[in-house]
Structures are given as C-alpha cells and as structure tokens.
Amino acid sequence: MEATLASIVAAATPLVYAAVGETIGELAGVINLSLEGTIMLSAMTGFAAAFVSGNVVVGYLAAAGVGMLLAAIVAFGSIRLRLNQIAIGFVLALLAVQLAYFFGTSYVRQPGPQVPALPIPLLDSIPFFGQVLFKQNLSVYGSYMAIVGAYVFVYKTRRGLILRGIGERPEAAFARGIPVNRLRYLYTIVGGALVGIAGAAFSLDVKLGWYEGLTRNFGWIALAIVIFGGWHPVRAAFGAYLFGALQTAATKLQPVLTGLSQILPLMPFVLMIFALVLVNLRVLRGVWDRHPALRRVLGGEPPAGLGVVFHPE
Amino acid sequence: MSLSDPRRGPVAGARARELARRAGSLLLPLALSLGVTLLILMLVDAPPVESLRLLWRGSAGSPGKLADTFMAWVPLALAGAGLVVTFAAGLWNIGVEGQIVAGAIAAAWVARDVPGPAAVLIPLTMAAGIFGGALWGLVAALLKTRGGVNEIFGGLGLDFVASGAAIYLIMGPWKRQGVASTSGTDLFRPEAWLPTVGTTTLVPLAAALSVVAVVLVYLLMRGTMFGLRLKAVGRNVTSARLMGIPTDRYVLAAFAVCGALAGLAGAIQATGIHHKLIPSISGGFGFLGILVVLLAGFRAAWIAPIALFFAGVSIGSTQLQLRLNLNSALGGIIQGVLVLFVILAGGWQQRLRSRRQGEPGASSAEAEGG
C-alpha cells in the first residue's frame, strides 16, 4: 500500500510542477496553452543538457530556461501585441514538439544521468507518511515546495493578493498603481519555469531518457488539471495525484483485463477530461450555490480577467 | 477580407499603403521563416541549399510525389475548410483530430461489413465517414452547450476517446486474421478502395470532393444568412442572442459541419490511402489543419493554397529523412515557425497602426470560446 502510494506520488511529480506553474500564470490572467510542446521540448533539452554536462542540476536549469522562453513568447504575443493567447499557445504547442523531435534525434534512448534517491533522515521513519512522502528524491521534494510555496504566496502574502487582483480585476489593480502587464509577464514566465521543470522531471526522474512521444498528452492533461483544480494550487496538485493514481490503476489492471490492455493507458486521460464535465455540470453548480463549503472544495471559477487583454491606455 | 471590410478606404493612397502592408505582413514573416530554417539546417551541419532542393523534389519532383502531396492536401483542405466554420463561430475545435478518426472508423465499419459492388460501397463509406465525423462533432458541441465544458478540453477528451476506440477495434473485434497487430486491421475488400490514377496514390474522387467542400464553405461563409449569423455568434455571443439568433443551435451546426468534413477526410484516409484502419489514422492532419486556418487568417479563400504548401512541406520532409538522415520533424518546424511569425507580424502591424491612429482599442478579434 505504502509502496503504491509512494510510486503514485513520484509518478505525478511532473504534473504537479506543470499544474502549479500553469495555475500561477492563469491566476495572473494569462493562459499558456503551449504546455504540450513546452513539456516535450524541456524534457528533451533537460535530458540533453544533463547528458552532456553529466549533471542533473544543469538539466533542470536548462529545462526551466526553455519553459521561461516559451512562456515569454506567449506573454509578449498576448500582452505586447495583444494577440489571441489561445492561438499563439497552440502554435507553440505544435512547434515545440517538432523542435524537440528534430534536435533530440541523437539522444534517443541513450542512457543518461538521473536524480539520485535521497530519503530524508528522521522524516522517513514516520509511520506511513515517511514511506509515502519522504523516501523520494529532490525532484519530488521540490514539487512539495512548489505546492506549499504557491499556496502561501497566493493566499497568504500581499504580493499574492496583487497577483490575484491582476487576474481578477486588472482595471482596478491598475487604478491602484499596480503595473498589471509587467506583473503578468513576470508570473507567466515564473509559471513557465515550473512547466519546464516538469519536462526535466519526466526525462531525468520519472521516465528516464528521451524518445519521441515521451511526454505525449501530458501537457494537455496538465491544462485540464488546472481547470479541475479550480485555479487553486493545492487542488491542482490533488488533481495531478488523482491522475497519477488513475495511471497506476490502469497499469495494475492491464494483466487482469487483457482484452483492454492496449487502451487502458488512455483511460486516465479520458476520465480526467470527463471529470471536468462533472465539475462543470449545471446541476452540480446549483449544489455549490446552496452549499458554499462544498463549493470551496469542489467548485471553482476562472479568474475573471483570464485570457482578456488589458490595455493600460 | 470581404467587400464589407469597414477599413477599406476610398483614397487610392490609403489603398496602396494597405497593399504594401499586406505584402509586408506576408513577406517579412516568410523571409524570417526561411532564415530560421536555414539557421537550423546549419546548426545540424546539413547542406542548406541541397536540403531545400530535396524538400522541393521530395514534394513535387515526380508525378508520384505530386500525387502524394495532393493526397496530403486532401485531408488538410477538408479539415481546414471545416475549421473555418467553427472558427467563424468563435470555437476552437481541437476535437477535429477525433472527428477524423470517428469518420475513419465509421467508413471502416461499412467497408468491412457491407457487401456489394464498388458503386454502392464507395458512396456508403463516404457517407458513413461524414456521418461519423458530424456525430463526434455534435458530442463536443453538446458538451459545450449542455455540459458547460470548454470546447478545447471537451474536444481533447473526445480525441482521446476516438483514438482509444480505434486502438480497441484494431486490437480486439477487428483484429487481423491470426494475430492482432498495431499495424492495423486486415485490408478492406478491393471494392471499398477508392480508385487511383495509374500507379500513383492520387484519388481523383477525393480531390474532387475536397475542392467541392472548400468551395461550398467559401460560399457558405460569404453569401448566406447562415454564414453571417454564424459570424455574429463568433463576434459576440450575448449580442447575437439578443438579436434573436439561437446561438446554441448555431454552435451545434458549426460543429456538425466541421465534423462532417473532418469525417470525410477520415473516410478518405481509411479507404483511399491506407485501405485499412490504423491507430494513427488521422495522421495529425487535424491539428495541422488548425495551423492552416490560423495562417489563412480564418479566410476560406486561402485554405486551398496554404494547405497545398503545408502538404508539400510535410511530404517533402520525409525525403530529407531518407536522403540526408535529417529528422522529418523539420517539416513541422517550418510550418510552425511560419505560422508563429505571421501571427506575430500581424499583431505587430496592428499595434503600429493603432498607435499611429491613436486609437487604443484596435485589438485583434478574440476567438475565445466563452
């Protein structure tokens, strides 16, 4: 049981990074739809950088750099040029995948460095939780930091309040002297860095290595998880773990349901998307409205300024 | 742009400037994309000029290659034409990939299970493809109008479901005689194969159907009440509803039209090219079709030529892999970089112009689903 849960936590780590990162950008009002490509390209770049340098830290940094660069293009296009965020993100999603395949050719199926296991002394001897959470590695611990850090920043600090302000009511924030668009750049790029780290977490930890299609569909699912999480970093992380659990279940069911073994790996993607349907169903929305406590746990509205261009003039 | 473009000024000088602007907004990104392509080729120590020549020869160097390019044009043009309709309604039909697969599955079902001569079978497979794709499009539309699910994510989910269904059929009920294989089902009976020209892959019927589809969409968007109202829905759902347009019904119709054309593309992929159902039957032409429409600026008249260019690049880049051992993803890079630069250049010029005219609100139209 503990071993299974520990493997779910480990396997979900890249999605935790990606979902938390995208949540931060979207809270600021910018949709970075390029995740499918960003994760693929940063997974390849991260592996290549670690392979060449022999150092996984270099790989994670390079991957974060790729994520920041692509996020910066989305931010520039949507903020400075006022382009449709969906359009530019979609183009980058397809383009970055092709770039990853093209430049990754010589690294395909090469054995490379990996993040070493690092149990945390004392904490790992806590019954149950020690086994599940603290017999992992730095990549996984970093994802805990991302969850807690994002939560504390967004909900417990003044800067976090401003972050939500520029996503929710940019005009009001601007009227109070807050540089809305500059902060939107900042948070989109910070979110992009986390998405890039998600790529490295795939190629240097969870899946070990590079081949075409290594992270296929994970970018799209990370975007769905952000919605599933109702733009709350902790709930987004929960969505990532839920998806990890579904994947583990699918793997375990493969020997049992041999007739379906080929399509079982696809099922978590289907289920996750249709979890969105449930969250969005109008019947349930009525329930949220009557029970505000339930709404806080399950419901969720996008930031009002999400995807809307803000003109300071 | 249509004749009703409000920006069309009567002054000749303004018109000349507009022409120059149009040329600039196309030539500059084209030059930049070429530059990036050459840079990438030099980065991997490939001979740039030789590579570009191979790209050309690989797509148009012989009747056989031309036929291949044309058969890649068919699904791109069909998907692109369909997507013009959904984009006009302000919808991001990411589910187009799944709609191609659904059409292919429906056509494969007919091709496998319906007896009869080609004259009966071929119209039936095409009709089944159209029907299957339209049905799959309607599911995405209902998820949006009834379920409140954004069409991007509903569409993605349906893409997963469709490809899952294809794999299930290939590995299960429709598996090859003997042993199931991810290489696909058994070949269909020859009566279900779309006839080709000589020894090439060219299917005249497929090309004719695509031309008709593109022309019909052009006319639909340009000269009909349906097209006009669809655009009204795309511009502003709320005001369209206030004008008395049944917006939900238009959303359903747009998805059904796009799904039908994508499904036809799927039926052609299955019965005209592979002659069986394979797991990757859509060939990525749905997503590539979205790039075509973005590059075309959502205008139906540009779909055919841009789709032809994209088809040539896709087919030609496989030659690079064979001859120079370059990853054929280069084709996708060329396509993606071109679209990216065209979009960025368009936004840049829009900004310059709105600054010149001192009007802050001249932003590009938001194709949000809402």
ipTM of the complex in this document: 0.91
Greatest Cα pair distance in chain B? 73
Residue A82, CA distances (Å) to A32, A88, A229, A307, B342 in order:
14, 11, 27, 10, 14
* Helix (H) / strand (E) containing B89: none
Whole-prediction pTM: 0.91
Chain A residue numbers with beta carbons less than 8 Å from the beta carbon of B148 are 280-282, 285
Does A301 have pLDDT greater than 80? no
Radius of gyration of chain A (CA): 19
Tell me the average pLDDT across B88-107. Answer: 96
Instruction: Give the separation between CA A203 and CA A47, rounded to whole angstroms.
Output: 6
Nearest to B233 by CA among B218, B254, B212: B254
Greatest Cα pair distance in chain A? 62
Instruction: Give the separation between CA A159 and CA A24, rounded to whole angstroms.
Output: 12
Residues with Cβ within 8 Å of residue B238, at least 6 apart in sequence: none
What pLDDT was estimated at residue B2?
A: 40
Does A218 have pLDDT greater than 90? yes
Name residue, tokens 């692509």.
A70
Chain B residue numbers with beta carbons less than 8 Å from the beta carbon of A266 are 160, 163-164, 167
Partner-chain contact B363 A82, CB within 8 Å = yes
Instruction: Give the separation between CA A147 and CA A141, rounded to whole angstroms.
Output: 10
CA A233 vs. chain centroid, Å, equals 10
Nearest to B332 among A98, A260, A285 (CB): A98
Instruction: Give the separation between CA B276 and CA A40, rounded to whole angstroms.
Output: 31
Instruction: Give the separation between CA A17 and CA A240, rounded to whole angstroms.
Output: 9
What pLDDT was estimated at residue A264?
A: 80
At residue B179, φ and ψ (nearest 5 deg) are -120, 140
Residue A36, CA distances (Å) to B9, B109, B351 in order:
43, 32, 29
Average pLDDT score over chain A: 90
Greater confidence, B3 or B210?
A: B210
Partner-chain contact A84 B364, CB within 8 Å = yes
Partner-chain contact B340 A91, CB within 8 Å = yes
What digits encode the pLDDT tens for the residues B250-290? 999 999 999 999 999 999 999 999 999 999 999 999 999 99
Nearest to A80 by CA among B364, B295, B351: B351
Partner-chain contact B287 A94, CB within 8 Å = yes
What pLDDT was estimated at residue B349?
A: 84
A-facing residues of B in 66-105 (CB < 8 A) are: 92
What digits encode the pLDDT tens for the residues B179-201? 878 889 999 999 999 999 988 89
Chain B: closest CA distance from residue A271 (Å): 8
What pLDDT was estimated at residue B1?
A: 38
Mutation target among A97, A243, A274 for the B interface, most CBs of B within 10 A: A274
What digits encode the pLDDT tens for the residues B312-333? 999 999 988 888 888 999 999 9
Residue A200, CA distances (Å) to A59, A61, A208 in order:
7, 9, 9
- Chains A, B: CB contacts under 8 A, how many? 138
Mutation target among A98, A103, A272 for the B interface, most CBs of B within 10 A: A98
